Each structure stands twice: as structure tokens, then as C-alpha cells.
Structure 1
Amino acid sequence: MTSPITAKLDKGFNAILAICLGLMGILIFLNVLLRYCFNSGLPWAEEFSRFLFVWLTFLGAIGALKDNAHLGFTSLVQKLPPTGKKIAYILSNAIVLYCLAALFEGSWEMTTMSAHTLSPATGLPLSYMYGIGVIMGIGMFGIVFFKLYRALFVKGAIDELVVLRESEDDRDFSADADHHAQQGDKK
């Protein structure tokens, strides 16, 4: 169950991702069209598309963490008792926090060092490129801390947080097996 505020934030976040993807597609298509048809192009469009791609990737990583969609090895953790699940979840998130701290620190240093360095085609400060690492670090820290809070203090939340997602092939196989079993029952 999501609150109205969370739903609005999620909708806004998805809109930002869509805008980045849309602008990137338009700029690349326009540049290809100009090069193919008119033997010219927009030099800044390629560089700006690269900026958008980096932002899209890092913002997408935040969204995937929020939705629990990153790759994970949960089949073993699913078989653990609730206390074991909780310990494994806390340890794995502690490692994630350590990696996020390293990413945040490196991104912060690169952002401050490149604040006065301009990109060649767009003239934008390169700190715009590296600043997304800072934003991603802060966003992911917040998500991980919230999930850790839920794991530690909300009864039964660990089963929601440690989610086993089967692949589409497994789902199709499982659905076929269920269908065949139902057909066998009817005979």
C-alpha cells in the first residue's frame, strides 16, 4: 500500500526517466537524419545524449532498487528461517551501503574537481555528468535505510523484502504444468 505522496513521487520519477529517454531518442534520431540526408549534424546532440544516457542509467538504478528489481540470489535466502533471512538481508544491505559510500565519495570528488571544466560540444560543466553519482548515492542510501528499518522493526516485512522472482520461462513452465494438471483433473 502506497501513500499519495509516494505515488506522486513515483509518478514524477518515472516522468523524469521518460523525458530523458524521449529527449535522447529525439536527439539521436535528429542527428542521424541530419547526417544521412544533409551531410551535417549537431555536434552538441551526441554529447547531450551521452549525458542523458548516464542520467537515465543512474536514475533507473534508483528506480530498480526501489522496486526490488536488481538481480539477486534469493533462492537460498528464501529457504532460511525468518531470523536467517533477516541476518542475510542486513549483511547484504550493509555491503550495499559500503559500496554506495564509496560511489558517493568518488562522485563527490569528481563533481567538485570538474565544476570548472566544460564539456567540449555543449559547454556544460562536467560536474553535471558526475553529479548524478551524488544524487544516486543519496537516493539509494535513503531507500536502503528505509528497507533496513522495515526489516528490523516491522514484523513480517522481511518476507516482502526478500522476494523470489521466477524467470518468465519458469512462469510459463509453471503455468503450463498447472494447466495440464487441471486438464488431468477434468478427465
Structure 2
Amino acid sequence: MKRPNDFLFHALVITASLSLAVLSLLVIYSVVMRYVFNDAPDFVEPIALLLVIVIAMFGAALKVREGGHIGLDSLVKNLPPKGQIVAHAFQHMCLIALAVAIFFGSLQMAETTFHDRIPILGLPEALRYVIPVIASVCIALFSFENLLALFAKKHN
């Protein structure tokens, strides 16, 4: 499971990094066009919104893989070793449950908005919801990988 997740992790890193770079360039372009040439481009805002969704959702998935998600470390560190394993397992089970909820909720929204169009861009509105669908699959896979690693350590 580690190798496919390694590939997925690197693809998310590249996608999120490129999205951040493009977002930065778009914002600079928009500011220059607005305040120097008094000609604000209309397309920047809807593209920027899509890029922010990519960065936020893929960034969240990346932090799950790295184990950098929000946790109660001060509480967990004070537990005995078996309690720490139970707490980490519970945390990853909760993340998997959250990923499943995001997946089905976003999938439903994508299906509902497929025929609607994003103004100015003309792309399907569903694109905004496909990004969280992809990220939720990654979150579930990364959490499952961490869960397997946790129990592999327990048995060693």
C-alpha cells in the first residue's frame, strides 16, 4: 500500500505546489491589471477559487499522510503505550469516517451541479466538488496506510 500512496502523495504535492504558484501569479496579474491599467480581468476570481480548493483539500490530504493533522498530542503523549495506540487508531478511524462523508457529500453535489456552469469560465460547476472527492479518497487511503503501519508496529 505504501508504493501507490507514495506516487499519490507526490502527485498531490506537485498539483498543490503548481496550484499555489499559479494562484500567486494570478493574484499579481490581477493586482497589476486593476491598479496599474485600471482593467480588472473577470476570469481571475473563479480560477483563484478553484485553485484555493485544490490547495486546501490536497494540502489536508498531504498532512494526513505526514501525520500532521490536528490532534491532542499533549493528551495522547501522557497515555500508556497501549492507550496511545488506541488513541491513534481512533483518530485514523475518525479521519476515514470524515473522508467517507466528504466523498459522498461532494459526489452528490457534483452530480447535482454537473449541468450548471461556472460563470465566465463555462466549466461545469461540478468541478468544484470533484476536487474534494479526489482529496477524500486520498485522505482515506493515507489514514488506512497510517492505521496499517500503527498495527504493524504493535506486532513487531
**What TM-score do the two structures reach when normalised by structure 2?**
0.88
Which residue identity lines up with residue 94 of structure 1 in the other structure? M
Counterpart amino acid of residue 90 in structure 1 = A
| Structure with greater Cα Rg | 1
The one-letter amino acid paired with 2:17 is: A
Which residue is 1:58 aligned to?
57
Cα distance between partner residues in 2 of 1:6 and 1:101? 18
Is 2:77 the partner of 1:83? Answer: no
Who is 2:43 aligned against? 44
Farther-moved stretch of structure 1 (37-46 vs 129-138): 37-46
Report how far residue 9 of structure 1 moved: 5.0
Counterpart Cα distance in 2 of 1:6 and 1:134: 16
Alpha carbons of structure 1 residues 134 and 77: separation in structure 2 relative to 1, 3 Å: same
Runs (5+) with no aligned partner, structure 2: none
- In 1, are the aligned partners of 2:5 and 2:141 still within 8 Å (CA)? no
Matches within 5 A, 1:35-184: 35-155=34-154
Percent of pairs identical after alignment?
Answer: 25
TM-score computed with the length of structure 1 as normaliser: 0.75
Aligned length: 155
Aligned equivalents of 1:25, 1:7: Cα separation in 2: 27
Q: CA RMSD in A?
A: 2.1
Letter paired with 1:34: M
Q: CA deviation at 1:92?
A: 2.2
Work out the CA distance in 1 between the residues paired with 2:133 and 2:25. Answer: 27
Aligned residue identity for 1:20: S
* Runs of 5+ consecutive residues of structure 1 not aligned to the other structure: 158-187
